[in-house]
Amino acid sequence: MKQQACQWRCHPQEEITAMGVDPFTLYCYWAIKQDPVKKHTLTVYNRTEHISWQIEVDQHAESLYVQIGQGRGEGGCAFQVAIGMVVSNIVSVPPTGPSNQLDQAWCNTAEGASPEGQIAPADGVLSSFCLTQG
Amino acid sequence: MPMGKGYLALILHCHLPFVRHPEHAEFLEERWLFEAITESYIPFIDLFERLCADRVSYKVTLSITPPLAAMLSDPLLQTRYRSHIEKLIVLSEKEIARTKKEPALNILAKFYFKAFQKARAIFERVGGNLLTAFRALQDEGSMALITSGATHGYLPLMAHIPNAVRAQVQVACSEHQRHFGRRPAGIWLPECGFYPGIEQFLEEAELRYFIVDAHGLLHATPRPVYGLHAPIYCPSQDQRSHVAVFARDPEASKQVWSADEGYPGDCDYRDFYRDIGFDLPLETIGHYIHPDQIRVHTGMKYYKITGKTALKEIYNRSIAEEKAKLHAENFIMNREQQVLSLSNKMDRKPILVAPYDAELFGHWWFEGPLWIEALIRQLAENPQVLELTTPDCYLQEYPKNQVATPPTCSWGYKGYNEFWLNGENDWVYRPLHQAAYRMIKVANQFVARPLSEMGAGILRRALNQSARELLLAQSSDWAFIMKTGTSPPYAVARTKLHLERFNRLCEEIDKNDVNETFLKDVEDKDNIFPEIDYRVYADSL
């Protein structure tokens, strides 16, 4: 049943891992060779909106909570962090509100052959339903 | 034939972390299990069996997590529970004698004596294994049993290690089948923790649905047209195997959960904190608390909430019973209003999903089981507007649903991962992740070996025990307890203990020098998942 082989690593010499705390914060921890003098530069990549910025980090630090700003866009964003050439996993950061995508795809699991997106709900369904009821 | 205009899905999430300590004659944290058995799980069995006996039609969903199932079916813990309930019966007999000149207290002492006797009778009738009763209720057709993560591991914080997520799901489903004789239709994602991508592992395990908090549906992409009140399907390559997502209804939730507005805070209900374990002098209660004279809840509580005062009035069971019925009536009235306002806007009957931690009912909210029973009986008598259902039954009636992707979410504080990832507990993730990678490495290393070579040998046992230790270390409860501050030293110790056992086993496996005495010791202590196969961590079998 396994659809794909999963990547794994074991005790890499240098690594950085990112996790989402909420729509506004990441937590990352790392193991990077320390420079006795220079601070580390942590680069934060917003892979969805194609922007990045850098944060200076104490050379002895091993983890950090990173503020990634307000108002995550449509469907949330994918974030990644890096120190030098050591790059983290990608984190799916959630959106802060309802989606503006109103196009509908439907599926009937009892009719496996029915193509998605071609089955419409009944007439008169309010597209703003979740906002009025939430 | 369904006749109502909408559905209510009552879902009770039964979970406790694996707290089994054979190395001690009595262990404080095992009382979590014993209290929940007496006050929640046995009252559930009692009430649901009575409903069946009275031919009351109902549908309810219980998620029984694998650690809880492991403990309920464990002979050692069953023996210990037997002693626990015997002791409570003796205590209540003594309380009847002690309170004979205080009629109001005496009535309550007699009430507890009967309740404890009944608990013992039900426990013995099912042979000490409560799972037997839950399975019978499942087979009877009124109760749907679903699973959760193998050790209630918080999956969004291991999302970057797919094999670790897969193992939590696969081991849970195998255990569920072993205990209940069938694959689970649904899964309670631990802490309702979802992240986009998890659905592929649920699909692999042939799970048909899970539950998220309200914003899991409200913030899904594209926006679900029916909001919270119909499920959506996660996207899938396979048309027939879409996993459905149901969302918690916040209004139904608030009326039961809210500390300010919820029913459990009513003045007539029993006060949880005033327990004779704390109120009586040690000479009287000493034998019935922890042997180290640590005061604990005995379950005998004589006072009602009364109000925001330290001067509590004596609990009156009859008044509390009537109040539970009134609160059930009020709950139904509010849900019916919701359904009536929703039903003319939808092409289907709306579903209100009301999931709760099961231990709220009985343990924390003593009258909770009475409220559930009143709710079910009242709905059975008047199903014209609202009927009970299970998520699976709903999907059978409505197999056509919108396809959308929920965002990362949980039902915890602020709705995301913060409760399990903050300054109190963030240190656990580095060693947990390293352990998961190590487990995958050893699983891959040995997966190719012929079974005959591995046999039932010591290496195979060590690999399987490593998987158990990793899973136990991953339990979301430890990070949760570190944050709440209820007993953080225990949670810290458990995390470190399982990681230490795991790492020692892996080192011995690496050296092909497994110490059988150590292995046997940890197998006996952490005896969860007797049929686990370490290969669940491998990239491919």
Instruction: Please state, in angstroms and rounded to a whole number, the distance separating the CA atoms of residues B122 and B13.
Output: 21
Instruction: Please state, in angstroms and rounded to a whole number, the distance separating the CA atoms of residues B533 and B268.
Output: 51
Residue A4, in any domain of the structure? no
Q: Measured between CB atoms, which of A6, A124, A131 is closest to B162?
A: A6
Residue A21, in any domain of the structure? yes
pLDDT at A37 (0 to 100): 78
Instruction: For chain B, say whether A114 makes contact (Cβ under 8 Å).
Output: yes
Half-sphere exposure of residue B327, counting CA atoms within 13 Å on the CB side?
26
Nearest CA of chain B to the CA of A41: how many Å?
21
Half-sphere exposure of residue B410, counting CA atoms within 13 Å on the CB side?
23
The enclosing H or E element of B535 equals: none
Interface probe with A: pick from B155, B169, B209, B239, most Cβ of A within 10 Å: B239
Question: Per the CB < 8 Å rule, is B345 touching A63?
Answer: no
Residue A6, in any domain of the structure? no
Residue A48, in any domain of the structure? yes
Q: Measured between CB atoms, which of A21, A92, A99 is closest to B418?
A: A21
Residue A101, in any domain of the structure? yes
Nearest CA of chain B to the CA of A13: how many Å?
12
Question: Per the CB < 8 Å rule, is A125 touching B345?
Answer: yes
Q: Measured between CB atoms, which of B221, B241, B418 is closest to A75?
A: B221
Yes or no: say if B16 and B476 are a contact pair by the CB < 8 Å rule: no
Distances (CA, A) of A55 to A14, A25, A72: 19, 14, 20
Total domain count for chain A?
A: 1
pLDDT at B221 (0 to 100): 94
Q: Which domain holds residue A95?
A: 12-134
pLDDT at A70 (0 to 100): 66
pLDDT at A76 (0 to 100): 86
Question: Per the CB < 8 Å rule, is A22 touching B440?
Answer: no
pLDDT at B265 (0 to 100): 95
pLDDT at A116 (0 to 100): 44
pLDDT at B486 (0 to 100): 83
Q: Would you state the torsion angle of the CA atoms of residues B211, B215, B219, B223, taken in this order, to the nearest 10 degrees?
A: 70
pLDDT at B449 (0 to 100): 74
C-alpha angle with apex B156: B153 to B161, nearest 5 degrees?
85
Instruction: Please state, in angstroms and rounded to a whole number, the distance separating the CA atoms of residues A17 and B430.
Output: 8
- Structural domains of chain B, ranges and CATH numbers in brackets: 6-70+129-269+325-414 (3.20.110.10), 423-537 (1.20.1430.10)
Residue A22, in any domain of the structure? yes
A96 chain-B contacts, CB cut-off 8 A: 219
Q: Measured between CB atoms, which of A103, A105, A134 is closest to B228?
A: A134
pTM: 0.94
Residues 48-77 of A with CB under 8 A from B: 63, 74-76
Residues 5-44 of A with CB under 8 A from B: 5-6, 8-11, 17-23, 25, 27, 29
Residue A28, in any domain of the structure? yes
pLDDT at B59 (0 to 100): 98
Hunting for tokens 């950085």 — which residue is that? A16
Question: Per the CB < 8 Å rule, is B418 touching A22?
Answer: yes
Question: Per the CB < 8 Å rule, is A10 touching B418?
Answer: no
Residue of A65, A71, A43, A72 lying closest to A56 (CA atoms): A43
pLDDT in tens, chain B (541 residues): 568 999 999 999 999 999 999 999 999 999 999 999 999 999 999 999 999 999 999 999 999 999 999 999 999 999 999 999 999 999 999 999 999 999 999 999 999 999 999 999 999 999 999 999 999 999 999 999 999 999 999 999 999 999 999 999 999 999 999 999 999 999 999 999 999 999 999 999 999 999 999 999 999 999 999 999 999 999 987 766 799 999 999 999 999 988 778 999 999 999 999 999 999 999 999 999 998 889 999 999 999 999 999 999 999 999 999 999 999 999 999 999 999 999 989 999 999 999 999 999 999 999 999 999 999 999 999 999 999 999 999 999 999 999 999 999 999 999 999 999 999 999 999 999 999 999 999 999 998 776 556 555 899 999 999 999 999 999 999 999 999 988 889 999 999 999 999 999 999 999 989 999 999 999 999 999 999 999 999 997 5
Instruction: Please state, in angstroms and rounded to a whole number, the distance separating the CA atoms of residues B213 and B196.
Output: 15
CATH number where A115 lies: 2.60.40.10
Q: Measured between CB atoms, which of A108, A127, A131 is closest to B399?
A: A108
Using alpha carbons only, how large is chain A's radius of gyration in Å? Answer: 21
Q: Measured between CB atoms, which of A29, A98, A119 is closest to B430?
A: A29
A9 chain-B contacts, CB cut-off 8 A: 437
Residue of B416, B6, B9 lying closest to B216 (CA atoms): B416
pLDDT at B3 (0 to 100): 80
pLDDT at B453 (0 to 100): 62
Residue A46, in any domain of the structure? yes
Cα A96 versus chain centre, distance: 13
- With 0-12 / 13-18 / 19 or more C-beta atoms within 10 angstroms meaning exposed / middle / buried, residue B384 is exposed
Q: Which residues of chain A have pLDDT under 70?
A: 1-12, 70-73, 112-134
Q: What share of chain B is helix, strand, coil (3-state, %, to 5)?
A: 55, 10, 35
